[in-house]
Amino acid sequence: MRRTRLGILAFLGIMAFGSAALAAQSPLRRLRGTCVWQSVSYPTTSGAAANAGPVTNMAQLTFDGQGNLAIANYDVNINGTFFSNASVQGSYQIDSSNHGSFTFTSPVSGRVFVFDFFLTPKRKALKIMLQSDNNPPPLPRVASGECRFDE
């Protein structure tokens, strides 16, 4: 009986230590791996007035768990004109509520893009929207997309 109690206490101690270690883990480490990203942008009212057309992009995003982002096979179609780039570097941040953002400089326009995201509870996808594109507000386009890790 005493051995059983000691075994149970040891098990509970290990579980408590594991939970505390997970809670203390850097939020950056929550996001690690490669996902397939697709996003579509539509002109806002002010963007349409400035002749901004639709944009779509696709790429493989690799998050390293340290805040660094590698974007491979970055393809973008801006208002009917296609561009393809081998790779782009960026950075990301994420908080303990799985809300974050990633940033990179577009090799096509030279603009710094910031995309806001939420990591889904099972960590299978990012739900993404455009936060800024280095233009003064309002943005010429709104964008939303998804990056799936289980592809």
**Angstrom distances, CA of residue 17 to CA of 22, 54, 95:** 9, 50, 22
Q: Which residue has the tokens 């890790």?
A: 149
**CATH of segment(s) 31-148:** 2.40.128
Determine contact, residues 20/29, Cβ cutoff 8 Å: no
The ranges assigned to domains in the chain are 1-27, 31-148
Q: C-alpha dihedral over 123, 125, 130, 133, to 10 degrees? A: 80
- Tell me the whole-structure pTM to 2 decimals: 0.80
Which pLDDT value is given to residue 13? 45
DSSP label at residue 11: H
* Tens digit of each residue's pLDDT (9 = 90 or more) over 36-74: 999 999 999 888 888 889 999 999 999 999 999 999 999
Q: Which residues contact 69 (CB under 8 A, 6 or more apart)?
A: 61, 62, 63, 89, 90, 91, 92, 102, 103, 104
| Cα 71 from Cα 92, distance rounded (Å) | 12
| Cα 115 from Cα 144, distance rounded (Å) | 9
Neighbours of 56 (CB within 10 A): 16
* Tens digit of each residue's pLDDT (9 = 90 or more) over 78-134: 999 999 988 999 999 999 999 999 999 999 888 899 999 999 999 999 999 999 988
